[in-house]
Amino acid sequence: MSNVPDNLRYRDSHEWIDPMQDPAPVGITDHAQAELTDVVFVDPPKLGTQVSAGQQVCVIESVKAASDIYAPVSGEIVAVNETLSNDPGLLNRDPYLGGWIFKIKPSNPSEADALMNAEAYRKHIG
């Protein structure tokens, strides 16, 4: 069974966001990393980019395929996880802590309420 922490919010495309932090870290779920297997490259978003919820912001690459990552909420990209450029496999090993991909400063914090909670996401990946 894949790990779905209760304190996070989820998109149906398998990104998580921690809305309790500001700026809020974003990554991919344990379920997503297990599906992708072997992440070999993370193409990070540009710092300072303004994104809207649901916008494609960056790409992660496994041996098999390139996968788009979408912004769970609107806001500004204020940090990217530099560690992933040398160690993309961290995304597989530690998807919720060390493997965060970018941090976003939400422009409309209530958007996170529209995302799935842990229970809904567990059903989603059923």
Partner 1 sequence: MSDSFPLRRTPLHAVHVEMGARMVPFAGWDMPVQYTGIVEEHKAVRQSVGVFDISHMGQFIVSGKGAEAFLNRVLTNNITKLQPGEGQYTLLLSQKGGVIDDLIAYRTSEREFFLVVNASRIDADWEHLESQLTKDVDVMMANASDFTAGLAIQGPKAREVAATVFGSGSFPEHNTILVTMTDNGPMWLCGTGYTGEEGFEFFMPAEVAEMWFRKIVDAVKAAGGVPCGLGARDTLRLEMGYPLNGNDLSEDRTPLQAGLGFFVDLDKGDFTGREALMAQKDAGLPDKLAAFRMTGAAPPPRPHYPVAHAGQIVGEVCSGTQSPSLSAGIGMAYVPLNAAVIGTTLEIEIRGRRFPAEVVKKPFYRKSSL
Residues of this chain that interact with partner 1 (CB under 8 A) are 37-38, 40-41, 43, 59, 61-64, 66, 85
Could you tell me the smallest distance in angstroms from the CB atom of residue 86 to partner 1?
Answer: 8
| Nearer residue to partner 1 within complex by CB, 60 or 73 | 60
Beta carbons within 10 angstroms of residue 3's beta carbon: 10
| Nearer residue to partner 1 within complex by CB, 64 or 97 | 64
Distance CA 49, CA 41 (A): 20
Could you tell me the smallest distance in angstroms from the CB atom of residue 63 to partner 1?
Answer: 5
Could you tell me the smallest distance in angstroms from the CB atom of residue 61 to partner 1?
Answer: 5
Strand order from edge to edge, sheet including 102-106: 9-10, 15-17, 24-28, 102-106, 75-80, 50-51
Could you tell me the smallest distance in angstroms from the CB atom of residue 84 to partner 1?
Answer: 11
In 63-119, which ranges are E strands?
66-70, 75-80, 102-106
- Residue 114 is encoded by which pair of tokens? 């529209």
Contact 28, 16 (CB under 8 A): yes
| Nearer residue to partner 1 within complex by CB, 34 or 114 | 34
- Residue 96 is encoded by which pair of tokens? 């919720």
| Nearer residue to partner 1 within complex by CB, 25 or 88 | 88
